[in-house]
Structure 1
Amino acid sequence: MPISNNIYFKIQEVAKILEVVPATIRNWEQNGFFKPKRSENGYRIFDQHDIEMLRKIKNWSVDMKMGTQAVKMMVDSYNLNELKAPSENALTKSFLSEKWKESRQSQNKTIKEVAEAVGISTSYLSKIENMQVNPSVEVLKKIADYYGENVLYYLSTDPEETSQLVRKDQRVRVVDKNGGLSIENLLNQNNSRLSFMLYTLQPGSKRPTLQPHSGNEIVFVLSGKVTFTIGEETVYHLEEGDCLSYSSKENHGWCNESQEETQLLWFYERIA
């Protein structure tokens, strides 16, 4: 099935996703922060990349209360960096597989429930499940987090490319620059039950407390520090050499509150 990125949203839909009113987006346009695409009828339309750009504009102008000129400088700087280097937040079609739908159905969730929870439209989630679009890492990470998974689980593995040995330079790696997180797959076998990964957490990166799901997890701190919250109140401050194990059926989340990079070996066993 061909991959298409031409999925567009109306200004009312984008405003709902960003939790602003349409007039706010029009003001950003008038201030020169962005130039919207137009449909054949002249209406403003937005693709997924536009929405991610507007999220940044909202953060700078609303959350950080930057002035007009300061926001323009941030936008220009961001666009320049996008042109200089290929985006590490782009995924190939290999990450689109039937596992997205399987995860939703296994948790007895409707498309509407999941879409509303992660802030995308039901039609866009449907296209992800049917392998008709190529979303950004940020979008897929939100969906994976909602299911209690990591995005590497949804990588389509070619049985002919599986092997017992994974060289350092052959690891499949996903980088979420906005979230300050990278995940490397340390296994190259088509095994849907086990995951073994290397997590690299930048200062300030975090994963909010997730809804429970089946499975068992073990985390070993290779370097740095990380704080885990298990259940409602149990908090663990982990340092280099510490090892934490817990049932995925408990609420769990983590945060790198330190000023240094943290690396974790992460083992996850799925239980049907």
Structure 2
Amino acid sequence: MSDLDLTKIGNILKTQRLAQNLSLRDLSAKSNIAASTISQIETGKTSPNLMSLKALCDSLKLPVSALFLDDAADRIKLVRKSEQQTFVRNVSNGKESIESLITKGTNEMWGGIINVPAKTDSGNYSRHGGEEFVFILKGTLTFDLEGNETYLLEERDTLYYPNYIGHRWRNDTDEDVEFLIVTTSPYNF
């Protein structure tokens, strides 16, 4: 790595650490890397190995890829309507369409519009990493969080939950339901 790369990586790590109100000792405890080593990495005085970078990034909840992007402009992605992709999957009694709104980027987040036909459900509980946000655009949808409540969501209602909780939905109505879903992990079709 060049000196410029080391300085940039150090600045990103330090900015993230300070944004999370963590001291060097706090980050050291979370990452199992000596505070003095973290300080040297942040100031560009030492070249960290990949395992150290991963440990620091995991502790800061920062993707390692963020350290190697040229600048913030690399993280901005415009997806035109013509570039959006629609997927169809079989569900009980019909086919559910999923319009992927985010087709570019580093896969740190995914968003889509899901159309749930009348009298269908998503099937078994789904579990994955990250968090998920649901916003009902049209209709009424029953959302089931395993081991928790079942929620009846109506137009403009929102639901936010960690993805490690099993989740599934069903449309008990005679009308199609459309909802926006945003998740911090890639969506499996």
Closer, same or farther: CA 258–182 of 1 in aligned 2, 3 Å? same
| One-letter identity of the residue aligned with 2:105 | N
1:256 aligns with 2:164: no
| One-letter identity of the residue aligned with 2:160 | S
Alignment RMSD, CA only? 2.3
| One-letter identity of the residue aligned with 2:88 | V
1:264 Cα deviation (Å)? 0.6
1:223 aligns with 2:138: yes
* Separation (CA, whole Å) in 2 of partners of 1:222 and 1:244: 12
Alignment of 1:76-115 (within 5 A): none
Contact 2:126 2:168 in 1 (8 A): no
* Separation (CA, whole Å) in 2 of partners of 1:206 and 1:235: 14
Alignment of 1:1-272 (within 5 A): 164-176=77-89, 179-210=94-125, 212-270=127-185
Provide the TM-score with structure 1 as the length reference: 0.37
| One-letter identity of the residue aligned with 2:86 | R
Radius of gyration: which is bigger?
2
* Separation (CA, whole Å) in 1 of partners of 2:124 and 2:107: 24
| One-letter identity of the residue aligned with 1:221 | I
The structure carrying a bigger helix percent of its residues is 1
1:233 Cα deviation (Å)? 4.4
After TM superposition, the runs of 4+ consecutive aligned structure 1 residues lying more than 4 A away are none
1:177 Cα deviation (Å)? 5.7
* Separation (CA, whole Å) in 2 of partners of 1:187 and 1:211: 20
1:207 Cα deviation (Å)? 1.3
Contact 1:165 1:188 in 2 (8 A): no
The structure carrying a bigger strand percent of its residues is 2
Q: Which structure carries more relative contact order (alpha carbon 8 Å, separation 6+)?
A: 2
Number of residue pairs the alignment of both structures matches: 110
Contact 2:119 2:173 in 1 (8 A): yes
* Separation (CA, whole Å) in 2 of partners of 1:262 and 1:202: 6
Identity over the aligned pairs, expressed in percent?
A: 28
Closer, same or farther: CA 188–212 of 1 in aligned 2, 3 Å? closer
1:205 Cα deviation (Å)? 2.1
* Separation (CA, whole Å) in 1 of partners of 2:83 and 2:166: 33
Aligned to 2:82, what secondary structure does the other structure show? helix
Contact 1:163 1:189 in 2 (8 A): no
Contact 1:209 1:229 in 2 (8 A): no
Aligned to 1:210, what secondary structure does the other structure show? coil
